[in-house]
Amino acid sequence: MSQTPITFKKILGWIWTGLFTLFYPIIIGFSLLFVGLVWVFSTLSWGLSWLIMKIRPHREEEETSSAAPSWQSFFSADNFRIERLLKEEIMFGPAYYRLRAISNDTPSNIESFTKAFFGDFKYPCFDGVLLQKFNTVIPKELPDFDLVFLNLKTGQLKYIETIKSFSWRVEEQGRGVIISWQDGKEPFELRLTQEQLVHA
């Protein structure tokens, strides 16, 4: 009775040894294949990452250059046009621009443009245009700007009034222009004629 289990165990041992001997090369082959595939994919991944890092800076430079503000047309007159360049835009506040005048495709020398910030407001009237020239670009000091008149014939910039209010408007009435604004609870109104704007 004791020889049967021993013989059965020997048979199982031979079978296991045979199966192991038969499948061992296959297992080794699959293991080497798996390691090789992992190495290939990791090498390809590293190569693609390196290639992307080489290409990405150029794309970022292109995006930065394309996103950079450029001179845009703001107002056109008979003898020259005005262009604006965005410098800053405050959240929930105004945008600030630099202005320049172009005459016959050549920048015109209006010194006041190069030293000041202007808003996007423009109001053509008579032989010129009313503009908004900021006195400060510090948010906590707003609103504080000068209403100025650009004479399109002479290129001269004339001061009209300092306004410290977000609530203001300009409208033409008869042969003049009315500027009205609210400073706190007190309303203000300024009437200007063509003679005052152009000849004074």
Which residue in the block uniquely carries the two structure tokens 């109001």? 123
Q: Indicate the number of domains in the chain.
A: 2
Same domain, 78 and 63: no
Same domain, 48 and 130: no
Same domain, 112 and 32: no
**Residue 171 pLDDT > 80:** yes
Residue 70 to residues 86, 87, 191: CA-CA distances in angstroms? Answer: 7, 10, 36
Same domain, 133 and 176: yes
**Residue 52 pLDDT > 70:** yes
Same domain, 178 and 102: yes
pLDDT single digits (tens) 63-114:
544 567 888 888 887 777 888 999 887 776 788 898 888 876 555 666 667 7
Lowest average pLDDT, out of 5-9, 134-138, 186-190, goes to: 5-9
Same domain, 170 and 101: yes
Whether this model's pTM surpasses 0.75? no
The residue among 153 and 3 whose pLDDT is bigger is 153
Q: Where are the beta strands (DSSP E) in 35-175?
A: 72-76, 81-89, 95-103, 106-108, 117-125, 128-134, 145-151, 157-163, 168-173
> Which among 150, 39, 141 is positioned nearest to 99, based on CA atoms?
150
pLDDT single digits (tens) 122-157:
998 888 889 999 988 888 888 889 999 988 887 788
Q: Which pLDDT score, from 0 to 100, does residue 2 have?
A: 47
Of 15, 34, 68, the residue that ends a domain is 68
Of 68, 101, 126, the residue that ends a domain is 68
Rounded distance, CA 19 to CA 12, Å? 10
Of 15, 46, 68, the residue that ends a domain is 68
List the domain range (segments joined by +) for residue 177. Answer: 72-199
